[in-house]
Amino acid sequence: MTAINIFSAASNVTEAPDLWAKKLPQKWSELSPRLVDGNDGAEWHLGGRPCGAPGFRHPVNGGRYRPTSEELSWLASADGRLWLQSRDDMVGEVLYPNREIWSAIAATEDRDFIVACHQVYNDWMAELVSGAPERIVGIAKIPPTGIKDATEELKRAGEKLKLKGAILDVWPAGVEAEGGLPESDPFWECAAALGIPISIHRPLSILNDEEPPLVAAGGPPPFSYDMNALVYGNVFDRYPSLRVVVKDTGVGWAPSGFEALDETYMRMQGSRTIELGNPDLLPSDYLRRFFWFTVQDDSFGISTRKVLGKAHMMYASFANTFASVWPNSRQLFEQLTGELPNSDREDLASNVVSKLYGVNSATDFTAQEINDYERHVLL
C-alpha cells in the first residue's frame, strides 16, 4: 500500500498555561485565565476559581492522568506540536482552540476582557504558526461580543496575523442575530474578501452549551440548523466566495439529511416564504458547494464521498483530545481508506485541506472540482 502523507484538517492546540497571564493588560491580572497544577494534573482557573480541566490526552500515558502545566508549556510550543505530529505520523495540522476555558471567559460578560482574551490568543496562535508555517495552519478565535468586534478581529487575524481560518462560537452579530440576517453581513463580506474559511462546531444561537457526552448516537450535528439558516438566508448568494467548514468527527448523517431537506423544499413550493438565489439549485447543492466537512472515524461517511463531493471531505485526527485516537491516527486512516484508490486517499489525507487553506502554495479548487458530486433528482 502506498504511504500517504496526512495533514489533519482539525486538531486541537495546547494553550500555553500562562498565555493570558503574560499577555493581558495588568488591570486583568487577577482575572486572567491560567493553568494551575493540582493533585490530578493541571486545571484552568479564572479569577482564582477552578473552571474545568483541559481536555488533553496525556502524550505519554494515553490519558490515564492529566498533564502538568510544565508538560503543557512544552506541548504548546512549535517543537512540542511537531513532536505530537510526528508521534501520530502527521505531516501537519489545522489547529483549533479548545472549548474548556472559553465558556468561562464568555461567562464574565465583560466585553473588553473577552475581546482582549481573543486578541491575545490569536496573537499567540500567529507566533505558534511562525515556528512551523509549513506544518501548522492556525485558526483564529472570533469574539462573541457583536458584529463590530467579530469583523474587526477577523480582519486583523487575516490581514495582520496571516491566520488562514477562523471559528465562530455564536453568530457574528450575536446569538439572536441568525446568520442570514443582514446584521451579520459585514462579517461574511470580510471573510469572503479575505478568502478565510469560517468554521462552525456548535450551535450558534447559544453562547454557552453543556459538554457533549464522550459517546453519543450518530446523527446530524447540533448546529445543522445553522448550516440551513445560512443557505435559506441567501448568504452564499450574496457572497459566493464564502466557504464554511463543518468541524465534526463524522459526515455519514449528511446524505440522508440533505435529501430530506430537498424533499421538503420542493414539497412546500406553493407555500414556502423563502427562495434560493439560484432557481436551478436545491438546498443540498448549496450545502455541498459552500461547505467543507471534516471526518474521523466514519467509514459510512467516507463511503458516501461521491455524494458529498470528493473536494469537500477532509480527514481530521482531532489530536490530542479525548475525541481522538492519538497517537494512532495513521492506523485509523489506513483502516478506513485501505480499499480506496490512492487518488481518493490523497484527497482525504491532504489534497483537499491543502487547497482549502493554501498549504505550501497549493492551488485553489477549480469550479469543476467544487461542483463535482453525485446529484439526486427529485421528480
Q: Walk along the chain (379 residues) and give the pLDDT tens digit of each residue.
A: 567 999 999 999 988 999 999 999 999 999 999 989 888 788 899 998 998 877 766 565 555 457 788 888 898 999 999 999 999 999 999 999 988 889 899 999 999 999 999 999 999 999 999 999 999 999 999 999 999 999 999 999 999 999 999 999 999 999 888 888 999 999 999 999 999 999 999 999 887 655 554 445 467 888 999 999 999 999 999 999 999 999 998 999 998 889 999 999 988 887 888 889 999 999 999 999 999 999 999 999 999 999 999 999 999 999 987 778 889 999 999 999 999 999 999 999 999 999 999 998 899 999 999 999 988 655 4
How far is residue 169's CA from residue 107's CA, in Å, rounded to a whole number? 13
Q: How far apart are CA 115 and CA 149, in angstroms?
A: 7
Closest by Cα among 21, 5, 33, 190 to 104 = 33
Res 322: pLDDT: 75
Q: What is the pLDDT of residue 213?
A: 47
Res 214: pLDDT: 44
Contact 376, 368 (CB under 8 A): no
Q: What angle do CA 161, 165, 169 make, to 5 degrees?
A: 110
The cell for 273 is: 416564504
CA triple 160-164-165, angle to 5 deg: 110
Q: Return contacts of 224-229, CB within 8 angstroms, 24+ apart.
A: 224/253, 224/257, 226/171, 226/179, 226/200, 227/200, 227/287, 227/291, 228/261, 228/283, 228/287, 229/178, 229/179, 229/180
Question: CA-CA distance, 309 to 335, in Å (whole number)?
Answer: 21
- Predicted pLDDT at 267: 87
Cα angle at 140 between 351 and 244, to 5 degrees? 50
d(CA 47, CA 113): 12
**CA 335 remoteness from chain centre:** 24
- DSSP for 37-64? EETTEEEEEETTEE-----BPPTTTTTS
C-alpha Rg value of the chain to the nearest Å: 20
Cell numbers representing residue 364 in the block:
485553489
Pairing of strands 291-295, 244-246: parallel
Q: Report all structural domains of the chain as residue ranges with CATH numbers, in order of start.
A: 7-370 (3.20.20.140)
CB-count exposure of residue 61 (10 Å: 0-12, 13-18, 19+): exposed
Assess contact for 317 and 93: CB atoms under 8 A.
yes
Give 28's DSSP letter.
G
